[in-house]
Copies of this chain bind each other. A is one copy, B any other.
């Protein structure tokens, strides 16, 4: 079986798993096939029994890796945000113009990856679908605060803060760089969901509209002079 990430390793907080799924063939199968199954069934209809059957393994073996499916979702989310963070770091690295850097970061957060092969296997698109429809469930519950204290959302928050820093660099006068970054990242997910399911309250015809919509907000709010296209 192919591993999810071919060239980079995301350091997921050890508290989200019981045993590191990277450490064994079975673990890697659990992760890569859970992406396929969750995307197919949705989180509510997905369970470890079905996953076990799908990888010719056993329910209780999966429980040795993850406490429950919500922890698995937190693991997958960490992978996703980790990949985006990695891309934001290396793909904006060479860009000197801070405005162009921010737009590049927004593009990464908003659009489908163009050159998937260089970062991971094909499942990245399915993982993105999962995040758009399921990420919210990884923190909208009664144990957010303890999960957060354990560091289970560290990568997500770090990505937000990187974007917040870019915003601050462009307009140090602006009062809400962190909230704005956070709103862009969330907006990317939400607008994609609205576009797919609540078409009457959106103008977006494709993914790139979501990008232009959010970019326009950044331009206006941060008072960016846009001479470049």
Contacts and interface: CB of A to CB of B under 8 A. Distances in A.
Given A148-B197, A220-B220, A203 B175 contact: yes
A71 interface: no
A187 B216 CA distance: 16
Interface in A13-66: 41-42, 44-45
A contact face: mostly helix, strand, loop, or mixed:
helix
Interface residues of A, number: 49
Contacts of A145: 197
A29 to B, nearest CB: 24
Contacts of A153: 198
A201 interface: yes
A182 B217 CA distance: 14
B178 A203 contact: yes
Contacts of A139: 197-198
A208 interface: no
Contacts of A202: 178-179, 182
Contact of A42 (B142, B179, B191): B142
